[in-house]
Amino acid sequence: MEQLQVDLASPRLPMAYLSAPMSAPSAIDRMHHYLNARRASHELWEAEVLHYCPHTNSPSIGSSDVGYESWMAMDLEVLRRCDFIVMAGNWNESPGCRRELAMAMHLGKPVVYTVEAAVALYQELRQAA
């Protein structure tokens, strides 16, 4: 009970959304996207940046019967709940990443393009809380 009170009293941490390409015509390209996103996610975790990464927090595209638009709707809902977005990999070549970026910008969420910038923004948001 004592630990619960401590946990409940802890301030809410900011949360990032990691946007990186996921889908691709070939399995090898999808695997490269997955590994690149995992690398960025790992770097964020090592820097203790709380974040959501669709590649690691959900089943792989193609391993589920969920259609693309349903998948995007769920990811965009998570993005709405995050405090900022981190654009990674060749995001500008991905229609899904461009949709996520457009949503983040429309919602007025900060956008960063490197893990280093994400770490700096995360620390800034934590200090402001």
Burial of 58 (0-12, 13-18, 19+ CB in 10 A): middle
Which tens digits make up the pLDDT trace of 62-114? 566 778 898 899 999 999 999 999 999 999 999 999 999 999 999 999 999 99
Tokens of 127: 């200090």
> How does 9-19 read in b/e, with b if 16+ C-beta sit within 10 Å?
eeeeebbbbbb
> What's the distance, Cα to Cα, between the start and end of the chain in Å?
25
User: 129: pLDDT confidence band, cut at 50, 70 and 90?
Assistant: confident
Record the pTM.
0.91
The topology (CATH level 3) of 18-128 is Rossmann fold (3.40.50)
Residue 48 — left, alpha, or beta (φ > 0 → left; ψ -120 to 50 → alpha)?
left
60 has a pLDDT exceeding 70: no
Domain boundaries along the sequence of the chain: 18-128
